[in-house]
């Protein structure tokens, strides 16, 4: 039953991505350049050492990182951004390897939104962040306070921001993962 549910989720996401691609082509001439941004939070981190401020992913997180790569396989990504932490870098790694892209690092507090939009004009961009920085980044991209800090156990939210000309839209999709459960 879980596999069927996962299949339908991947099917829906694939349809959304391909409709975004079709929309990009049809709207590019009429409304300007289309930029699409995919925002995710890092996958599950290793919490075994409370003193470690830069933990790697745990087993479930590694599975989720590979799941993100599978979900994004049909997206023609141009660039991947991540914060300079092990958990975000490790989350982005499987997608970067599949897409043969280098990862660019960013500091969430130092991002100039207008510059970021200009630097990524017409591109498909993956941004990997944190529970507090990801919704904030999305809000700045759409110029609305629509999304709030994510729950600590929310590693499966996908925010999609599409900017056509000066018009920004967003959607939030929660992706379940058949990742291995962490052993206790």
**SS3 of the chain:** CHHHHHHHHHHHHHHHHHHHHHHHHHHHHHHCCEEEEEEEECCCECCCCCCCCCCCECHHHHHHHHHHHHHCCCCCCCEEEECCCHHHHHHHHHHHHHHCCCEEECCHHHCCHHHHHHHCCCCEEEEEECCCHHHHHHHHHHCCCCCCCCCCCCCCEEEEEEEECCEEEEEEEECCCCCCCCCC
Residue 184 in domain: no
Residue 156 in domain: yes
Distance, in Å, from the CA atom of 36 to the CA atom of 151, rounded to the nearest integer, reads: 25
Residue 146 in domain: yes
What per-residue confidence (pLDDT) applies to 12?
53
Q: Which of 21-35, 121-135, 165-179 has the lowest mean pLDDT?
A: 21-35
Residue 9 in domain: yes
Distance, in Å, from the CA atom of 161 to the CA atom of 172, rounded to the nearest integer, reads: 9
- What is the CATH classification number for the domain harbouring 164? 3.40.50.1240
Residue 109 in domain: yes
Dihedral of CA atoms 117, 120, 160, 76 in degrees, nearest 10, equals 170
179, 151 Cβ separation under 8 angstroms: no
Residue 182 in domain: no
Number of domains in the chain: 1
Distance, in Å, from the CA atom of 127 to the CA atom of 39, rounded to the nearest integer, reads: 5
Residue 179 in domain: no
Distance, in Å, from the CA atom of 4 to the CA atom of 173, rounded to the nearest integer, reads: 18
46-88 confidence digits (pLDDT tens): 999 999 999 999 999 999 999 999 999 999 999 999 999 999 9
136: containing domain? 2-174
What per-residue confidence (pLDDT) applies to 10?
52
Residue 181 in domain: no
Average predicted confidence (pLDDT) for the chain: 88
Q: How confident is the model at residue 182 (pLDDT cuts 50, 70, 90)?
A: low
Q: Over range 102-108, report the average pLDDT.
A: 98
Distance, in Å, from the CA atom of 159 to the CA atom of 150, rounded to the nearest integer, reads: 12
């Amino acid at each position: 039953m879980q596999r069927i549910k996962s299949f339908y989720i991947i099917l829906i996401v694939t349809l959304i991505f391909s409709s975004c691609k079709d929309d990009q082509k049809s709207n590019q001439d009429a409304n300007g350049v289309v930029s699409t941004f995919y925002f995710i939070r890092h996958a599950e981190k290793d919490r075994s050492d409370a003193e470690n401020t830069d933990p790697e992913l745990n087993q479930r997180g590694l599975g989720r990182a590979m799941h993100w790569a599978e979900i994004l396989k049909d997206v023609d990504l141009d660039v991947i951004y991540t914060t300079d932490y092990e958990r975000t870098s490790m989350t982005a790694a499987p997608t970067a390897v599949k897409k043969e892209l280098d990862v660019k690092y960013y500091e969430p507090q130092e991002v100039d939104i207008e510059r970021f939009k200009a630097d990524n004009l017409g591109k498909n961009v993956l941004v990997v962040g944190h529970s507090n920085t990801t919704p904030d980044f999305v809000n700045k991209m759409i110029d609305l306070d629509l999304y709030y800090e994510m729950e600590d156990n929310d590693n499966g939210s996908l925010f999609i921001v599409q900017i056509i000309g000066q018009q920004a839209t967003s959607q939030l999709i929660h992706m379940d993962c058949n990742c291995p459960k962490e052993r206790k």
